[in-house]
Amino acid sequence: MKKNHVSIERLPLRPRGKSANARFGKLDIVLFIILLVYAIIIIFPFYNAFLISVSPEYVYNETPLLLWPRDLTIASYTSVFQNENLWSGFRITMVLLVLGTAYQMFFTIITGYALSRSNWFGKNFLMNMILVTMFFGGGLIPYYYLITSLNLHDKIWVMIIPGAIDTFNMLLMRNYFQSLPKELEESARIDGANDIQIFVKVYLPLALPMIATVGLFFAVGNWNSWYNAMLFIKTPSLWPLQFVLRNLIITGSSNIEGTITSPETYSQGLVMASIFFTIVPMMCFYPFLQRFFIKGIVVGAIKG
Amino acid sequence: MDNVLIAKKQSRAHDLKKKVGRSKFLILLGLPAVAFYFIFCYIPMYGILMAFTYYYPKRGILGSLFTSFVGFKNFDTIFKDPYFWQVLGNTVFIGLGKIIISFVAALLVALLLNEIRMRMFKKSVQIIVTFPHFLSWVVVAGFVNLFFVTDGAINGVIQLFGGQPIDFLRNGPFFITLLFGSDIWKEAGWGSIIYLATMAGISPELYEAADIDGATRLQKIWHITLPSIRPTAILLLILSVGGILSAGFDQIFNLYNPLVYNVADILDTYIYRSQFNDNVNAGVTTAIGLFKSVVSFILVLSVDRIAKLSGERGII
Amino acid sequence: MEKKKLLLITPTLLALLLPAMLLSSCDGSAKEDEYDGDKLIVSLRNLYFDAWSGGDNYTDYIENNFKLKLGLSNYSWADWTTQVNGAINGNNVEDVFHFNLDSYNFASTYEYWVEGEIIKALPEDMSAWPHIQSLLANTSNIDALTIDGKMYGIPIAKNIKNPETTFAPFTYVYRRDWARDLGVYQENDVYTWEQFNALIHAFNLRLQNDPNMVAAIGDVEWGFPSVTNFYKDSPHCFTKNSSDEVVSNFHSAKYVEGLNVAKDMVARQYYYQNQYSSKDGEMNKRYAAQKLGILYENLSYTNYNKLRTDYIRNYPAVDVDDATAIMKVKGPDGKFALEGTENWFSMTFFDAEISDNKQKKVLDLMDWLLSEDGTRFAMYGIEGYDYDMINNEPVLKDVDEYKNKTNGAKYLRYMTTLGYDTLSYDPLVNQDSLTIVNDWTAEMSEARENNQMRIFEEDPEVRWLSSPLKNQHSGRMLSNANSYVTQYAFNNLTNIEAYYSQLNRDPWESVLAEINAKLG
């Protein structure tokens, strides 16, 4: 640990008007332009995709680079909102989001806390056990067998239960708990608190930033998950949103021989509208949550 | 003498009992983890044994082990296939490239954001550029396809300037560029967070002292800002080296196509395709996976050892 | 350090031994027949089931009559192969499942599954199911699929009424109206090679006056370069030379001749410059946006109908018949050229663990659906309720209502046939499009009989041959060769030697040697 690290609570600002030039120099303008261009590069695909989602098909076919809206239409979005699969995908993903995130957070946090405490019976055993799994795995087929014998095929639980603990997030929690001063525990014990109270009343509240961060990571992971569904879920009403989206994007541009009841060939408009359907919820929540996780990940990584 | 030994043993047992008693709550907390890792990681782990068989689904893993054990033949098949070495080369190239490029990109972004003085602008830019990290590669690949397709936006611009359209998605070198580029687009903002926070934590006295010495801004960056992130960077480096051989399955899986297999195939996509599309026997694909695990493990151990030797703290 | 190591190794070893014993009970025992009341429970999975999952009146009718309880599911289009292989490797297949079997995956799937006792053979005596028996008898190259005299699945017939149509509808659709305007139109859309070239040339000149147009001709992405059809003997890797020896198609003089023609056309800018890098479906869209004069495409009913629908919807002022005319082109040898295919696509398989009784009952259902009664049921429904027989022809009572109903029997029928035979009286089908496609097929069949047609295909003997090096490499060899062909045509490889040297990076010699040795 560097000896002169500053506590993260006091983010010092560059002193204004003192030694640094108060007026904006050439360098500032250059920086401004570079960052502006960078931000535009990030935003532009969204803008362009949005334009496509509100343009009719022939406009897209005729203009490669859509810069301004032309002949706007909401036909794509109407189609999207009528697509039953997307809605059921949305419902399923919401369930995964709420149930799954809570479930994962619970187990990850208690494990992280346990491993952050020193010198208890079995700690090293557990730590080593986890360490080995970070490198070695049996692969997909035994996992498949496992799911079969647990009778989880084609059930929504197959997307929730196997995700109980994410090793990376658990380590983040562990590091965070470790970074909190030991004196807290000692003084709590002196005051007569037992283990449960120390955990719940002392450490948990202090770890809120990290908990929020980890919760966000899990939430985003659940929102974006599709792999387990592809392998184990047959019933279309149980498909999560990203999986439905992936099918839309791929079939929108494929041309399989010999098909009779091929699904409607979706134009790019529908694909883009579907993409926005899945992104917009995230875009709404994102700016507010951004504060939390920046704090959290910083502390978790630096103090680790 | 015996009495002393017995006494020692007894006291050790006594200590142990005490320890267990003290740890009751923590053991309780740790039990779910034990169960979880056991069920979902260790039980499937015996699948590693598949690497030494010619696998028949109906006979199961043990059944195949007993009836069609092939020893190291699967590894022999793999190592003799020139395409495997190409895939391995791709994996190392892409994995290493990503680590370096994303590090440089994240660092640059952090520096830029650190140096800019307009606070509102800085905050807004930060919010914007960290957002793509949260998108799934399904969506980002959709964007990439949209833009870099033959008569897409980028080629439209190129043609506007009189150039010939470029086949980004199907031309090897350009595809690799796209891989790195889209990775930067998605992750640079996110990766810069840690470095930015570290930089913000630098004590301002250092900068003041440098000003007194008459340092230019660039010199300040080189001598103060950059060294401050060294421990963080090394830590992240160690963490990511273990993942070199993984090199980003999700991204490549969603972006690649048969024309670029020879440069874009990484171990994971190769395993996936062999297993599910080309129907290579599961024994062989497991062998590849085992190879990957072993090498990754050795890599992490080595890098950790090197880091420890050069004075930094390791992670193992 | 030692203690630590011990702590590391012990859990691992323990963990490895225990569950291995636990899960060893997971072996392949036979699946017992299970009943729901008096109905036998069967699980069926097929790509074409789409989102249908039973519950309609017609499925109920079938379930009651055949005493079956159907558990239905489908595959997602993009992951069909993954899902089937995942289920097979995880020992979790449905009773009746569906897979895209083709020559390139034959050895690693069909053969492997037979050897591993994963799929169940059909009964030796199929006389109890005459329709299926006849379907099998008409299946092209069924010998390739017969192992030790047994069939292990049902190849799904494309057109059960016309099994002799063993060519694919990969051909040209073009702007007849533009051709007429430019004075290069030929009667009945039949063009000799010279006339075809004149047409392309005229379309190329037309570019100067039409800002929207991008090129005279475009090929569907996987079909470039289509002009090689008129030269090559085989659509894939292998062909036979005059001494009946198996050689590389891509190295052959005939192929290279056609390839040079393509290169020349590209040089003259007849082909759209972005042809090289088009993604799936893009060339089709360009034609639908009036950017191309000629499109080479798989003109199945579905695709052809979509083109016509696009024109009707987007450009009502254009005559759709003229905008989507099917062109018939004769090569330099004066004959039409079409790619030969099997007359079936994908196969229905039975899980090896199901009982003979279950297999028989499913076969009963399949056979009935192929019979006249069953077909009429799948197409129209129940007599007296959905339709009446008037002059010996079924007439729907309420077409609109019918279009909005789900008829499960129709989906179930896809387990044995793709249903091209019923398109002509399917109320949901656009008869205009269908008529045009059928007329074209009939015309081409007739040309074939009159020796006006050259069908090029890979010799079935070679195509279905299973040998280690071929199995391991030919898939990759094919996709590599196709990319070199494109690079050569678009001048990324400037001369033919560069093309050959790229090709030779793959193990052609050893694969061919092995093939020839096996064929003797």
Complex ipTM: 0.80
Minimum-distance CB partner of C28 among B49, B59, B167: B59
Instruction: Write the DSSP string, C198-217.
Output: HHHHHHHHHGGG-TT--EEE
For residue C336, the SS3 value is: strand
User: Total domain count for chain B?
Assistant: 1
Residue appearing with tokens 């960077």: B233
Contact C16 B46 (CB under 8 A): yes
Contact A145 C26 (CB under 8 A): yes
Residues across chain A: 304
Question: What distance in Å separates residue C187's CA from the closest CA in chain A?
Answer: 30
- CA atoms of B64 and B48, how far apart (whole Å): 12
- CA atoms of A206 and A176, how far apart (whole Å): 10
Provide the CATH topology of domain C35-164+343-429.
D-Maltodextrin-Binding Protein; domain 2 (3.40.190)
pTM of the predicted model as reported, rounded to 2 decimal places = 0.81
Residues of B in contact with A18 (CB under 8 A): 208
Question: What distance in Å separates residue B263's CA from the closest CA in chain A?
Answer: 22
Q: What percent of chain A has pLDDT over 70?
A: 79
Q: Which residue of A has its CA nearest to C73?
A: A234
End-to-end CA distance of chain C: 63
- Which DSSP category does A181 fall into? -
Minimum-distance CB partner of A287 among B23, B116, B127: B127
Question: What distance in Å separates residue C106's CA from the closest CA in chain A?
Answer: 18
C4-44 pLDDT, tens digit each = 655 566 666 666 566 655 654 455 567 888 898 999 999 99
Looking at per-residue pLDDT, the higher value among B247 and C490 belongs to: C490
C179-201 pLDDT, tens digit each = 999 999 999 999 999 999 999 99
Report pLDDT for A3: 42
**Chain A interface, mutation test: which of C17, C26, C50, C76, most A Cβ atoms within 10 Å?**
C76
Structure tokens at A9: 């609570």
Question: What distance in Å separates residue B177's CA from the closest CA in chain A?
Answer: 16
Against chain C, the chains showing at least 3 CB pairs within 8 Å are A, B
Structural domain that includes position B264:
81-280
Report pLDDT for A1: 38
* Ordered structural domains, chain A, with CATH: 1-73 (no CATH), 84-302 (1.10.3720.10)
A157-191 pLDDT, tens digit each = 999 998 888 888 888 888 888 878 888 888 888 88
Residues of C in contact with B58 (CB under 8 A): 27-28, 91, 116-118, 352
pLDDT exceeds cutoff 60 at A255: no
Minimum-distance CB partner of B44 among A5, A137, A282: A137
Residues across chain C: 520
Against chain A, the chains showing at least 3 CB pairs within 8 Å are B, C
Report pLDDT for A17: 40
- CA atoms of B204 and B311, how far apart (whole Å): 27
- CA atoms of C74 and C370, how far apart (whole Å): 21
Residues across chain B: 316
Dihedral of CA atoms C490, C491, C493, C499 in degrees, nearest 10, equals: 60
What stretch(es) of chain C map to CATH 3.40.190.10?
35-164+343-429, 170-339+443-519
- CATH code for C170-339+443-519? 3.40.190.10
- CA atoms of C310 and C173, how far apart (whole Å): 14
Contact C91 B38 (CB under 8 A): no
Minimum-distance CB partner of C277 among B150, B276, B279: B150
CATH number for the domain spanning B189: value is: 1.10.3720.10
Contact A260 C418 (CB under 8 A): yes
Contact B36 A107 (CB under 8 A): yes
Residue A288 — very low, low, confident or very high, per pLDDT cuts 50/70/90?
A: confident
B243 falls within a domain? yes
pLDDT exceeds cutoff 80 at C513: yes
| Pairing of β C170-174 and β C387-390 | unpaired
Residues of A in contact with B203 (CB under 8 A): 4, 6, 12
Contact A301 B194 (CB under 8 A): yes
Report pLDDT for C265: 94
Looking at per-residue pLDDT, the higher value among B250 and C319 belongs to: C319
Instruction: Write the DSSP string, chain A.
Output: --TTPPPTTS-PPPPSSSSS-SS--HHHHHHHHHHHHHHHHHHHHHHHHHHHHTS-HHHHHH-SS--S--S---HHHHHHHH-HHHHHHHHHHHHIIIIIHHHHHHHHHHHHHHHHS-S-TTHHHHHHHHHHHTT----HHHHHHHHHHTT-TTSGGGGTGGGS--HHHHHHHHHHHHHS-HHHHHHHHHTT--HHHIIIIIIHHHTHHHHHHHHHHHHHHHHH--HHHHHH---GGG--HHHHHHHHHHHTT---TT-SSPPP---HHHHHHHHHHHHHHHHHHHHHHHHHHHHHHHHHHHT-
Residues of C in contact with B164 (CB under 8 A): 273
Q: If we measure between CA atoms, which residue out of B235, B257, B265 comes closest to residue B95?
A: B265
pLDDT exceeds cutoff 80 at A232: yes
Instruction: Report yes or no: B47 and A138 within 8 Å, Cβ to Cβ.
Output: yes
CB atoms within 10 A of CB B283: 25
Q: Which residue of C has its CA nearest to B78?
A: C472
Residue C133 — very low, low, confident or very high, per pLDDT cuts 50/70/90?
A: very high
Report pLDDT for C27: 52
Against chain B, the chains showing at least 3 CB pairs within 8 Å are A, C
